[in-house]
Structure 1
Amino acid sequence: MTGLFDHVMLRVDDLETSVDWYQTHLGYEEKDRHEGDGFTIVYLGPEGMHDDGAMLELTSNHGETTDEVGDAWGHIAVRVPEGELEAHYQQLMDEGVEDYRDPESCGGRYAFVKDPDGHEVEIVQRDYGALWSIDHTMMRVEDADEALGFWTRKFEYVEPRSRWESDSFANYFMGPEDAPQEAMWLELTYNYDGRSYTMGDAWGHLCVRVDDLQEDWDQLMLREAADYRSPEECDDLYAFTTDQDGHEIELIERDPDAESLFPF
């Protein structure tokens, strides 16, 4: 499997409001849309995103609302050029975006805002990647050793791409060893106090792009990954496993010549 992250999925209450928010404030464009039976999915991303970059998937279940964001899911982080954090943050403030943590409170290194559904969006400074492209997705884990072992053994991710360890928590950035820097990375956050987390229903899943869906699924099963939704159960279009904490991980095989991004 390539192991690159293909997209991150968030559930939203009002799809068009959320799509408009990402288009207006982050300059995202609609990459594709699927109208299902009782739900709608939209893929979004910046116009100039890297071929190996990750998209944002917004899912709306018709007639349903999401009750809880949960704290097991953390945030997505989007990129702005080095030295331009304050300017882009101020632009968002001028546009009426909800502030969460300004650059000053974050030591001038990053900032946070919230989208219409309360999902946290971190703004990080990078000298690579398209403006507002997804840099990483953060999830909180209850056991760092188990989480690191899961991603290194099941998906062959490198032992952390980078890490930050403080007196009370640690951050581990994981990804395939040969991934381009423009790809999305996974940030695992571990708090030392032994707390547990609530998953919530507003957080959806991560999606990993694979070379051969059935072969890579069989490999995951050999490595004792959770059989959550097998390819057969999903009409051989995709599959799902879960990590040690119950975070859902989708597997999808991309056809570069397909007319649609959706395998339906």
Structure 2
Amino acid sequence: MSGVLDHTMMRVEDLDASLDWYTTHLDYEEKGRWEADTFTNVYLGPEDLHEEGAVLELTYNHDDRSYEMGDAWGHIAVRVPEGELESSYQQLMDEGVEDYRDPESCDYNYAFVKDPDGHEVEIVKRDPDQGAKWSLDHTMMRVEDADEALGFWTRKFEYEHTSRWESDSFANYFVKPEGAADEAMAVELTYNYDGRTYDMGDAWGHVAVRADDLHDYWETLMEREAEDYRDPESCDDMYAFTKDPDGHEIEIVEPSD
């Protein structure tokens, strides 16, 4: 399905340690790998990943660089069935995962852990029909203008605003493709009311959107005045990149077997 989110990319400093963390604690398996001269991309997800489910892309650069987390990206969120939040969190604690924000501190609505590189991973309760345990539920990014960010995703990508959570100091808005399966990943847009700005950092890379036809999809984005960041030709006609108003990179990919 064109428009569904395909993956979230994050950069890691020790590929073996990151692979061990995600395969051991979240029961992920390797879905694919791309080896280049200077970097390696590994794609991970649950064994029973839905056809519209998103995977996690770990990018390892071979030059031993380190990364700055920044604060423009927030977290990825993974699903656990209703009633299993506390037991799932305790399982991670028993396995030696960092105790970052336990369910009690989050009013038993969710919890947070961190991977070896410091990327935050939220644990959220979902109906079992909404996807396999530990599958990606959403990726959170912070935005400086909520109206502009919502307009970008609804106009450029034809996403629909599926839910919101507004508090005294911030609001969370969730968007995903119209007609996408419950198992598909969403984007969470977090807007803080205090007018703060954000640092992009480089520990997070991008989210990726699937296109049935890369060039047709790119042409539509250009007609809708999306930013021409890296067009298909500059990427050997394998993918392309645009950016949202806050500078978050969005890859357009045409999946293959």
TM-score (norm 2): 0.98
1:153 pairs with 2:155: yes
Specify which of 127, 137, 152 is matched with residue 135 of structure 1.
Answer: 137
Q: Secondary structure at the match of 2:209?
A: strand
- Percent of aligned pairs with the same residue? 73
Cα deviations by residue, 1:91-142 (Å, 9 ceiling, x for unpaired): 1001110121100000001000000000000000111310100000000001
1:210 paired residue number: 211
1:229 paired residue number: 230
- Equivalent-residue separation in structure 1 for 2:210 and 2:117 (angstroms): 27
1:98 paired residue number: 98
1:35 paired residue number: 35
Q: Secondary structure at the match of 2:159?
A: coil
Q: Secondary structure at the match of 1:173?
A: strand
- Equivalent-residue separation in structure 2 for 1:142 and 1:240 (angstroms): 21
Tell me how far 1:34 sits from its aligned partner: 1.1
Q: CA RMSD of the aligned region, Å?
A: 0.8
- Equivalent-residue separation in structure 2 for 1:233 and 1:14 (angstroms): 29
Code of the aligned partner of 2:171: A
2:80 paired residue number: 80
1:172 paired residue number: 173
1:47 paired residue number: 47
- Equivalent-residue separation in structure 1 for 2:105 and 2:221 (angstroms): 42
- Equivalent-residue separation in structure 1 for 2:191 and 2:100 (angstroms): 21
- Equivalent-residue separation in structure 2 for 1:209 and 1:110 (angstroms): 29
1:262 paired residue number: none
Q: Secondary structure at the match of 2:45?
A: strand
The gaps in structure 2 that reach 5 residues or longer are: none
1:200 paired residue number: 201
- Equivalent-residue separation in structure 2 for 1:35 and 1:254 (angstroms): 17
2:119 paired residue number: 119
- Equivalent-residue separation in structure 1 for 2:37 and 2:143 (angstroms): 33
Tell me how far 1:166 sits from its aligned partner: 1.0
Cα deviations by residue, 1:163-186 (Å, 9 ceiling, x for unpaired): 011111000000111001100000
The gaps in structure 1 that reach 5 residues or longer are: 259-264
1:59 paired residue number: 59
Cα deviations by residue, 1:226-258 (Å, 9 ceiling, x for unpaired): 011000000100000000011000000113xx3
Give the number of aligned pairs. Answer: 255
Q: Secondary structure at the match of 1:145?
A: helix
Matched-pair contact (CA < 8 Å) for 1:66–1:201: no
